[in-house]
Amino acid sequence: MKVTGSDFDDTSTTNKVIVIKPHHLLDIFKLYGKGIENFIPDKNYNHNFYLIGNAVIGNKVNKIRFTYSYDDICKPCYYLKNSVCSDYFSANGVDINKNKFNEKLDIRLMKLLNLKFDEIYEFKNIIELFNSEISLKLINLAWYSSNQEDNIIRYKLTKKGIENFLSKY
């Protein structure tokens, strides 16, 4: 299965560049830290989280390029309209546009990690960076509007997912 308009192909990723939002990569490791070892398709969204997530935790990714726009996960999603996410989520009774929220989140993450958008990185170097830099302080700064309890859980699971990945590969 090929991701439309992407270099990503689930059969051969050795020399492919995965285009991904930084928060999506952290979400993959958070869920891996929670114990998910095989992602399955989401019929409500039709996105490629399962495909990219399985490639990441299966160590089939060598190169990545970060974006704050839509990525290889988003491309086939039902909610991607004119290259913009049209989905919303609710927080404290307020509807929040996912596109605006996630763009700001990804920009904060890239600044905190001292990374650049649209630059191609070796995946192993990014994992090593994540392993050394992911902290509760970084999570609190990036997800500043989330409550502390959620951020503690996000931090612990993400760190565990990264450590599990590194111990396996």
pLDDT, tens digit, 9 for 90 and up, residues 96-135 = 999 999 999 999 999 999 999 999 999 999 999 999 999 9
pLDDT, tens digit, 9 for 90 and up, residues 48-96 = 999 999 999 999 999 999 999 999 999 999 999 999 999 999 988 899 9
- Amino acid type, 159: K
Domain ranges of the chain: 17-168
pLDDT, tens digit, 9 for 90 and up, residues 19-44 = 999 999 999 999 999 999 999 999 99
Q: How far apart are CA 104 and CA 20, in angstroms?
A: 15
pLDDT > 80? residue 5: no
pLDDT > 70? residue 13: no
Average predicted confidence (pLDDT) for the chain: 92
Helix (H, G, I), strand (E, B) or coil at 60: coil
Query: In this structure, how many other beta carbons lie within 10 angstroms of the beta carbon of residue 152?
Result: 13
Instruction: Please state the pTM of the whole predicted model.
Output: 0.91
pLDDT > 60? residue 7: no
